[in-house]
Amino acid sequence: MAETVRPRRRRQDPTVWALYVIGLLPAVWHFYQGATGQLGADPVKTFEHLLGLWALRFLILTLCVTPARDLFGWNLLRYRRALGLLAFYYALMHVATYLVLDQALNFGAVIEDILRRPFITIGMGALLLLVPLALTSSDAAIRRLGSTWNRLHKLVYVAIAAGALHYAMSVKVIVGEPLIYAGIVVALLAYRAVRKPLLRARRRPREAGAAAL
């Protein structure tokens, strides 16, 4: 989401549409589990939690695209937009489940939760950060915004940090799975911080060899 993209008019790759379909299957499956009593004693909370977890997973996958290309030569850029939008869709479903099924649209209780429970405050903030990224994900928006698009989409780093923190705070005990996700997010953010000098260091021997020829 946060790297320069030069849009070209082209037909959408069928594999991208396949990614959207496959990416939404977990939501359908978890809804089925909840409807058939397979999500435990509190199916609404469990369903809500699972949707939020998938949002974090897709955000992580979105940010893995660049290091995968830099370090391993895997060019998955055509899937990055779909991964980012899937993260947004899951975050939206996560919040919608909280508002409709958990709080029954009791907005007084929702506002009280946001003000009194920091992990909900942070989670809502993460969703708000994803909204402009989703709204400006089209080729037309990239052309219209120009260099502003790149600056705007750097918000994804704040969003993923907020999402990981929201998840860790919601489970209260940062061990096992929450610790793994937190470690992955920290690694991705750290890679972003060192990416430019790392790429310069990797180019230097090739440039020296080319000069010698």
| Cα–Cα distance measured from residue 195 to residue 89, given in angstroms and rounded to the nearest whole number | 29
| Cα–Cα distance measured from residue 46 to residue 44, given in angstroms and rounded to the nearest whole number | 5
What pTM value is reported for the model? 0.87
Give the residue among 155, 161, 14, 165 at the shortest CA–CA distance from 78.
Answer: 14
How confident is the model at residue 171, as a pLDDT?
A: 84
How confident is the model at residue 155, as a pLDDT?
A: 93
How confident is the model at residue 10, as a pLDDT?
A: 55
Query: What's the token pair of residue 170?
Result: 């919601």
Query: What's the token pair of residue 79?
Result: 């899937």
| Cα–Cα distance measured from residue 90 to residue 151, given in angstroms and rounded to the nearest whole number | 24
Confidence of residue 199 (pLDDT cuts 50, 70, 90): confident
Q: What percent of the chain has pLDDT above 90?
A: 72
pLDDT at 67 over 90: yes
How confident is the model at residue 189, as a pLDDT?
A: 94
| Cα–Cα distance measured from residue 22 to residue 94, given in angstroms and rounded to the nearest whole number | 18
Query: Over the chain, what is the mean pLDDT?
Result: 89
**Domain boundaries along the sequence of the chain:** 14-212
Compare 112 and 4 and report the one with higher pLDDT: 112
Amino acid at 150: N
pLDDT at 208 over 60: no
Give the residue among 198, 186, 204, 189 at the shortest CA–CA distance from 70.
Answer: 198
- What average pLDDT does this structure show over 139-151? 90
Lowest-confidence range among 12-21, 70-79, 173-182?
173-182
How confident is the model at residue 3, as a pLDDT?
A: 55
Confidence of residue 2 (pLDDT cuts 50, 70, 90): low
Confidence of residue 176 (pLDDT cuts 50, 70, 90): confident
Host H or E run for residue 72:
helix 43-72
